[in-house]
Amino acid sequence: MTTLKITPAKLNGSVCVPSSKSMGHREIICAGLSAGTSIVDNISMSDDMEATLRCLTALGIGFQKVPSERSGRTALAINGSGNVRVSQSTVDCGESGSTLRFMIPLGALCGEPLTFTGHGKLVTRPLQAYYDIFDRQGLSYTTASNGYLPLTVNGVLKSGDYELPGNVSSQFISGLLFALPLLAGDSVLKITSALESQSYVDLTLSCLAKYGIVIEHENYYKYHIGGGQKYRCGRNMVEGDWSQAAFWLVAGTLGRQITCTGLNRDSLQGDMVVTDIINRMGGKITCDAEGNHTASSASTNGVVIDAADCPDIIPVLTVLAAVSEGTTEIINAGRLRIKECDRLAAMTSELNKLGAAVTELSDGLIIKGRPEGLQGGCVDSWNDHRIAMSLAVASLVCKKAVIISGSECVQKSYPEFWQDFTALGGMIKTVGTGESI
């Protein structure tokens, strides 16, 4: 485990944000399901993207790295056959919920046993929505106790009527939307409770459409999925990641000025709402003609933030709230408890260690702002990339150093995070084992 000591410093400068992890997963899955070769350019590699690539291999889909046409990042040539088959009996999904939930229905097209393993919190993250479908269809599967990983699926999904809850994870909906068009018959998918993370369903539908898959829906609650469809190869670029930009836009608001490049101002990513939220709090985020977004230093005030459609930006917005004038209420955030860690508990515990005043509710947070700043101290990442990156941003407003243990977890989505943090003026030192802090 790596421990970092961050000496408080105001960050300043420009950063090219990684490409979208959510869109990257979707692109390489759709490319892998097409017959022929697709190029997906501008992929930011991370542990989660590696996990999805391992799944493609297990499903008999080939890929190779090729020179990028327009970015300095990875471009992948992905060779699919238009369908899936089990080419490896076990696949490790790492800690990636998206990977696991997108791949299970594809594994359940193969008609041969395929075992999904994972690590950390992924082992216990909810999968019941799929088990209910398998039970209804009589599809054979086994799990460790309590439905935990490893999960082995062994059977073929049947076309027809499907139901899913809308408030556990939209990743189940995306997973079925990838797989059901490949069945011979038509399917209808109904969402039986309030839909959260709807923007992620939009990302799925838009990627499917790019690859030639037609799905009609009635206001996101009923999806009509024609069977016998074929994915069509493509050449696509992945745009910048708004969830990652959020860290820098909060850091710019708390620091001097930070410009994020590589972003699409017309993005379908729900986390783009971070600009509206920061501006609503009194921040100063502007956008130029190229879509570069600049956050300038500003004094901010508390607001109500609805987490239903943007769960991933809540930890870093909690940091901004912690030093804003007045009170911030985070609502509809119960789902944050079933991510890489319990993010409501983690942000409450770790920010309060730094001197913040955060109160945890069952599905939200109340944050009493301390505009005078925080103290600093020793905190833990809870092995969650978004907690580690949020605590790094919190260091900007601390009087004393912030020591973060478990800082290596940023590998999950943003391996270059600490390099970028340093390039913007952050002062980081690795603390060796046994070294006093």
Ligand X SMILES: C=C(OP(=O)(O)O)C(=O)O
Q: Which residues, including other chains, have CB under 8 Å from residue 64's CB and lie 6 or more apart?
A: 76, 77
Q: Choose among ligand S3P, ligand X, none what residue 386 binds, the Cβ cut-off being 5 to 8 Å by kind.
A: ligand X
114 phi, psi to nearest 5 deg: -135, 130
197 binds, among ligand X, ligand S3P, none (CB under 5 to 8 A by kind): ligand S3P
Complex with ligand S3P: residue 170 or 300, whichever CB lies closer: 170
- Read off the tokens for 131: 């088990």
96 binds, among ligand S3P, ligand X, none (CB under 5 to 8 A by kind): ligand X
- Name which of residues 385 to 414 contact ligand X (CB under 6 A): 386, 413
Nearer CB in complex with ligand S3P: 200/382: 200
CB of 244 to ligand X, least distance (A): 10
Find the shortest distance in angstroms from Cβ 203 to ligand S3P: 7
Q: Residue 416 CB, nearest distance to ligand X (Å)?
A: 16
| CB of residue 27 to ligand X, shortest distance in Å | 15
DSSP β-ladder status, 151-154 and 140-143 = antiparallel
Tell me the torsion sign for CA atoms 52, 54, 57, 59.
negative
Cβ proximity to ligand S3P: between 91 and 164 the closer is 164
Measured from the CB atom, the residue of 86 and 201 that comes closer to ligand S3P is: 201
Q: Does 20 bind ligand S3P (CB under 6 A)?
A: no
> Nearer Cβ to ligand S3P, position 3 or 22?
22
Q: Which residue positions form the known binding site?
A: 21-22, 26, 97, 125, 169-171, 197, 312, 339, 343, 386, 412
Cα–Cα distances in Å, from 31 out to 173, 212, 315, 371?
A: 19, 11, 32, 48
CA–CA gap between residue 110 and residue 85 (Å, rounded)? 5
Give me the least distance between CB of 399 and ligand X, in Å please.
Answer: 29
For position 98 contacting ligand S3P by CB under 6 A, the verdict is: yes
**Distant-in-sequence, close-in-space partners of 369: CB < 8 Å, separation ≥ 6:** 301, 302, 321, 322, 323, 324, 325, 326, 327, 328, 357
Asked if 96 interacts with ligand X (CB under 6 A), we say yes
Question: Looking at beta carbons only, is 54 or 335 nearer to ligand S3P?
Answer: 335
Nearest CA among 83, 85, 67 for reference residue 75: 67
Please identify which residue in 154, 169, 318, 348 interacts with ligand S3P, judged by CB under 6 A: 169
Q: Is 267 in the site for ligand S3P (CB under 6 A)?
A: no
**Rule CB under 6 A: which of 325-344 touch ligand X?**
339-340
Nearer Cβ to ligand X (97/255): 97
Q: Respond yes or no on whether the N-terminal peptide bond of residue 150 is cis (omega within 30° of 0).
A: yes
Beginning with the edge strand found earlier in the chain, give each strand of the sheet holding 377-380 in spatial order. 377-380, 402-405, 3-7, 427-431
Joined together, the tokens standing for residue 11 give: 């960050």
CA angle 49, 50, 51 (to 5 degrees): 90
The pair of three-digit structure tokens given for residue 224, joined into one six-digit string: 């009509």
Q: Is 258 helix (H, G, I), strand (E, B) or coil?
A: strand
Binds 162: which of ligand S3P, ligand X, none (CB < 5-8 Å by kind) = none
Q: Choose among 312, 275, 268, 330: nearest CA to 414.
A: 312
Site track for ligand S3P across 116-155, x = CB under 6 A: ----------------------------------------
Cα separation, 314 vs 4, in Å, equals 23
Residue 199 contacts ligand X per CB under 6 A: no
List strand residue ranges (DSSP E) for 57-197, in order. Answer: 62-66, 74-81, 90-92, 114-117, 140-143, 151-154, 161-164, 187-191
Binder among 42, 44, 52, 98 for ligand X (CB under 6 A): 98
Does 97 sit near ligand X (CB under 6 A)? yes
The size of the interface with ligand S3P (CB under 6 A), counted in residues, is: 11
312 is catalytic: yes
**Who contacts 374 (Cβ-Cβ below 8 Å, separation ≥6)?**
322, 323, 351, 354, 355, 356, 394, 397, 398, 399
Answer whether 358's CB lies under 8 Å from 367's CB: yes
Site string for ligand X, 44-83 (x = CB under 6 A): ----x-----------------------------------
Contact pick of 170, 236, 332, 390 for ligand S3P (by CB under 6 A): 170
Kindly name the residue from 312, 342, 384, 420 that is annotated as catalytic.
Answer: 312
Alpha carbon distance 97, 103 (integer Å): 10
β pairing state of 402-405 and 377-380? parallel
Q: Decide if residue 335 touches ligand S3P (CB under 6 A).
A: yes
Binding site for ligand S3P (CB under 6 A): 22, 98, 169-171, 174, 197, 200, 311-312, 335
Binding site for ligand X (CB under 6 A): 48, 96-98, 312, 339-340, 386, 413
Catalytic residues: 312
